[in-house]
Structure 1
């Protein structure tokens, strides 16, 4: 059942939900949470489809907050009950200044005595816990599209925050832990290869550094996503390599190569996994702190490299000094060559004197 409301209020939306439940023949529906999805016009359709599919595993009231910029202030809504989903869906279109007060619209529509999950499928605030809508949630889920976004959000991580870039690592972390259980060895170093700017790769490197206590190097590959993870031991590498995004080659020293399923999961599966737990993810918080520490080390190494760079410049300036010295030497030697030419007049004067003497002698004679 679908009920459309134009220029409405939160009270009218609540009444429409009650009418829709009664019309469906179930005045009381068992829902386990309220999921608030904050999106825009571009991500609205995909966010609706993903949240609806995730709601089949976790029946909930889904509130889609769609911001529409403009001068006109208003609130339009669409209530969906049934429609193939075991819960309720309310689409809220916030026009103009109302979009800046989304928390006031969402608050009256939250289910009582149930946890609240806030998900930003696209652009998310830098500090999710301090966002007006984010403050309403027990859990806050973002999706960092790049390592730079992840670093900014990791600096402001609060209990209850999570990122789908971390959820994408569940299978990777399980395989790596199983590899060390099967082949317990002292790890000397580790390497993670992924496409440039991968947020998941940065989180995995931080997690491995925390768990193994060894330096982990990031290497750029062609993707998709993470393509290779290697843990170096004295006997060889424990490696998991995935080139096609579906199957991975699993290598352990002294054992034959095996293939394991390691596909790239869609957003619906990632979101459903995050909704299975409402308590804070302490392991993610530790990994996020490791991301911040790696970023701090990289920033500290930057000024050191730039400070060392000018030391090589004086060697390049020696060439002009040699040229100037050569020019001075040439300039000083040139007058020295001209000085012997000035002695010619002296010969002329001597010749004149001899001429005078001869003439004098002739006169005397």
Structure 2
């Protein structure tokens, strides 16, 4: 079920959702979290598809914010005019790179979806088969309302459940200072899918907080688990050399190298593989030989231990759905990621 709400207001959206719940004989109390998604039209449907898949395990309310810059009236001047008309106390700029977060309105009861010429908000509500295990709310603000995502979102949050913010592609430079990110208990970014992964991860590192994690790191969960399990088997000999193979300019591989360098205390050599789409191998040298984990194919890996026959196991390339589902399962700060991003990264860069 898809319901369009043109020129609407947040209170009307909330009322419509309550009405739909009553008609279907259900409530929002079964939702375990609210997932906020900041994206654009090009990425919207893919992000919702991923969120739907993740909601099968984590029933949630999904709120996607898609600024309608195409129909905004003179984006710069119009935004300032609409801000002043809708809220006489809220001034400031968006929380993008280098910008300070906007001040909150002194009167939280003010509905910023009321503009000087009516609503600055179009919305869509999806229920049932179109919304996974929850409901989806798509908000398309215009003019000055684009700069107030928190004001739009707060009336629509599910009470007493955690809020998770997710930027599927290009995140703000400082997610914790972003108006949407500031209300979240967990902030998920995906620097690998941004326009410039290396520059993005550097900005995220500089502004990192314990609630932040990047899905480039989550893509490595299976590899890290297997490698740790392999090294946990006797004999427990020190590692003297490490080599990692995979595609060039692949952020998850850089993070894997940083983790290995930090935990094993030895330099990590890198071998680039043309045509590879993910990490293809990790080779750990010790006194009795080489311990290796190789993935010559997309869905099968080979574990090799000195003195043992190679063992084939299934290790498919992780999808975005896998990564998002894992992070929604945890929510709590990732201490290992904190060490890697703050300490290990500098070790491989220097």
TM-score of the alignment, normalized to the shorter chain, above 0.5: yes
In structure 2, C-alpha distance between the alignment counterparts of 1:172 and 1:27, rounded to whole Å: 40
Runs of 5+ in structure 2 lacking a partner?
Answer: 74-81, 83-119
Query: 1:306 matched to which residue of 2?
Result: none
Query: 2:98 matched to which residue of 1?
Result: none
Which of 120, 123, 127 pairs up with 1:77?
A: 123
> What is the DSSP-based 3-state SS (H/G/I as helix, E as strand, rest coil) of the residue aligned with 1:7?
coil
Query: 2:254 matched to which residue of 1?
Result: 202
In structure 2, C-alpha distance between the alignment counterparts of 1:220 and 1:235, rounded to whole Å: 26
* TM-score normalised by structure 1 residue count: 0.78
| Aligned pairs for 1:1-365 within 5 A | 1-70=1-70, 71-72=72-73, 74-83=120-129, 85-145=132-192, 146-183=197-234, 184-222=236-274, 223-294=276-347, 297=350
Task: Answer 1 or 2: higher relative contact order, Cα 8 Å, separation at least 6.
Answer: 2
In structure 2, C-alpha distance between the alignment counterparts of 1:280 and 1:240, rounded to whole Å: 28
Cα distance change on mapping 1:148 and 1:244 into 2, 3 Å: farther
Deviation at 1:224, TM superposition (A): 1.5
Contact 1:224 1:243 in 2 (8 A): no
In structure 2, C-alpha distance between the alignment counterparts of 1:291 and 1:135, rounded to whole Å: 27
In structure 1, C-alpha distance between the alignment counterparts of 2:27 and 2:341, rounded to whole Å: 43
Equivalent pairs counted in the alignment come to 297
Query: Once structures 1 and 2 are overlaid, which stretch shifts more, 125-134 or 14-23?
Result: 125-134
Which has the larger Rg? 1
* TM-score normalised by structure 2 residue count: 0.81
Q: CA RMSD in A?
A: 1.7
Contact 2:28 2:158 in 1 (8 A): no
In structure 1, C-alpha distance between the alignment counterparts of 2:310 and 2:8, rounded to whole Å: 62
In structure 2, C-alpha distance between the alignment counterparts of 1:28 and 1:267, rounded to whole Å: 26
Question: Greater helix share, 1 or 2?
Answer: 1
